[in-house]
């Protein structure tokens, strides 16, 4: 059933002699990724740095990242899942349909060559970007890449890492996991954590109009989410905690200005590889931190007579 085979970025820096960037444009979106962690750095076991590494870029268009690559594979939009799955078969020496492979924009020969290079690697890594995880197929595109990397370990050392979005996405994921057991799409409405992406994930809830209030923290959905979701946010009482005015704060019923985390508020940010980094406030802020505000809201809510803890679970609901 595959799984997730990954590592911290230092492992890549010190060991990776082969890397695939898939569905991302690191040169522009994660500029320091190349220089700090992966490509150009001299590593403990890759003393020649860039010369010691092979980089493959898989993307739908020739971005500036392509220049940095030793091999650029241009794939037709929306064909990542097909390509990754065909590659899984080819890596194992199982048959694929040449004509249907070519619908991905690549030939069997190209995939065979890639498979051979991957097997020759001493330490291989695949980074995949949102060009993969946010296009048609979503989590299954990611799943295909993760499974490919896992299965490669039957031949050589191989790991895989998603290039997460901006902000502390990983941090939210990490904290939700240890407090609720699930990374995202969690509902606490029945008094205990439940997980069901698509049912409880934010965009889906808003698009279906399943919520009658919203508290927005460290995000600006008003700028990024689909219009129906934004429309619902403006229909319901929406509360925004944000140091600055945002698209969301403009449509919100309430905007509480908070101290900018990392600048005026301490905390922890998690790198895409889940390495925690402490944030030390540099400047004082007249505004409360997000944490202060949330604590005070919770206390106020708990003090309300109407607040009652949920009764017993009538059934274990998935």
88 burial via Cβ count (<10 Å: 0-12, 13-18, 19+): buried
The residue (of 66 and 269) whose beta carbon lies closer to another protein is: 269
Q: Which residues pair with 98 in a beta bridge?
A: none
Q: Rounded to the nearest whole angstrom, what is the least distance from the CB of residue 257 to another protein in the complex? A: 27
Q: Rounded to the nearest whole angstrom, what is the least distance from the CB of residue 282 to another protein in the complex? A: 14
Q: Rounded to the nearest whole angstrom, what is the least distance from the CB of residue 89 to another protein in the complex? A: 4
Q: Rounded to the nearest whole angstrom, what is the least distance from the CB of residue 200 to another protein in the complex? A: 10
Q: What part of residues 227-266 is at the interface with another protein (CB under 8 A)?
A: none
Cα–Cα distance between 157 and 283 in angstroms, integer?
Answer: 45
Cα–Cα distance between 251 and 145 in angstroms, integer?
Answer: 38
**275 lines the binding site for another protein (CB under 8 A):** yes
Stretch that binds another protein, among 59-67, 162-170, 206-214, 216-224 (CB under 8 A): 206-214
Q: Which is nearest to 156 in space by CA: 112, 113, 115, 120?
A: 120
**Residue 310 gets which letter from DSSP?**
-
Cα–Cα distance between 106 and 158 in angstroms, integer?
Answer: 23
**291 lines the binding site for another protein (CB under 8 A):** no
Q: Which is nearest to 6 in space by CA: 209, 16, 202?
A: 16
Determine contact, residues 185/198, Cβ cutoff 8 Å.
yes
DSSP string covering 161-196: EE---SSSHHHHHHHHHHHHSSSSSEE-TTSS-EE-
């969690």: which residue's tokens?
186
The torsion region of residue 166 among left (phi > 0), alpha (psi -120 to 50) and beta comes to beta
Q: What part of residues 151-180 is at the interface with another protein (CB under 8 A)?
A: 153-154, 156-157, 159, 173-175, 177-180
The residue (of 63 and 114) whose beta carbon lies closer to another protein is: 114
**283 lines the binding site for another protein (CB under 8 A):** no
Residue 116's H or E segment, with its range, is: helix 108-120
Determine contact, residues 15/46, Cβ cutoff 8 Å.
yes
The residue (of 64 and 181) whose beta carbon lies closer to another protein is: 181
Q: What part of residues 57-76 is at the interface with another protein (CB under 8 A)?
A: none
Q: For another protein, how many residues bind (rule: CB under 8 A)?
A: 88
**210 lines the binding site for another protein (CB under 8 A):** yes
Q: Rounded to the nearest whole angstrom, what is the least distance from the CB of residue 69 to another protein in the complex? A: 22
**8 lines the binding site for another protein (CB under 8 A):** yes
**224 lines the binding site for another protein (CB under 8 A):** no
Q: What part of residues 78-137 is at the interface with another protein (CB under 8 A)?
A: 81-82, 85-86, 88-89, 92, 94-97, 100-101, 103-104, 122-123, 136-137
The residue (of 250 and 253) whose beta carbon lies closer to another protein is: 253
Contact residue for another protein among 282, 283, 302, 305 (CB under 8 A): 302
**Would you state the structure tokens that stand for residue 77, as one six-digit string?**
């939009």
The residue (of 227 and 307) whose beta carbon lies closer to another protein is: 307
**9 lines the binding site for another protein (CB under 8 A):** yes
Stretch that binds another protein, among 185-193, 225-233, 237-245, 254-262 (CB under 8 A): 185-193
**281 lines the binding site for another protein (CB under 8 A):** no
Q: How far is CA 146 from CA 24, 260, 267, 283, 308, in A?
A: 15, 35, 30, 41, 43
């Amino acid at each position: 059933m595959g799984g997730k085979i990954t590592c911290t970025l230092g492992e890549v820096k010190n060991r990776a002699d082969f890397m695939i960037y898939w569905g991302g444009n690191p040169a522009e979106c994660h500029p320091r990724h190349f220089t700090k962690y992966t490509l150009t750095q001299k590593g403990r076991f890759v003393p020649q740095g860039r010369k010691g590494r092979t980089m493959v870029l898989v993307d739908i268009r020739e971005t500036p990242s392509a220049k940095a690559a030793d091999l650029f594979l241009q794939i037709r939009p929306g064909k990542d899942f097909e390509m990754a799955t065909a590659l899984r078969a080819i890596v194992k020496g199982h048959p694929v349909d040449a004509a249907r492979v070519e619908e991905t924009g690549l030939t069997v020969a190209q995939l065979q060559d890639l498979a051979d290079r991957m097997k020759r690697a001493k330490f291989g890594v695949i980074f995949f970007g949102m060009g993969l995880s946010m296009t048609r197929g979503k989590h299954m595109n990611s799943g295909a890449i993760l499974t490919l990397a896992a299965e490669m370990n039957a031949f050589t050392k191989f790991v895989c890492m998603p290039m997460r979005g901006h902000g502390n996405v990983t941090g939210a994921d990490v904290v939700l996991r240890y407090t609720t057991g699930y990374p995202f799409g969690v509902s606490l409405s029945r008094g205990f954590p439940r997980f069901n992406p698509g049912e409880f994930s934010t965009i889906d809830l808003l698009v279906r109009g399943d919520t009658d209030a919203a508290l927005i923290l460290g995000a600006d959905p008003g700028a990024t989410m689909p219009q129906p979701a934004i429309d619902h946010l403006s229909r319901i009482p929406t509360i925004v905690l944000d140091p600055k005015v945002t698209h969301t704060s403009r449509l919100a019923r309430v905007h509480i200005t908070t101290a900018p985390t990392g600048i005026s508020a301490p905390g922890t940010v998690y790198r895409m590889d889940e390495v925690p980094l402490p944030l030390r406030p540099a400047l004082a802020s007249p505004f409360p931190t997000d944490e202060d505000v949330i604590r005070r809201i919770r206390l106020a809510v708990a003090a309300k007579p109407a607040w009652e803890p949920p009764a017993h679970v009538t059934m274990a609901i998935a």
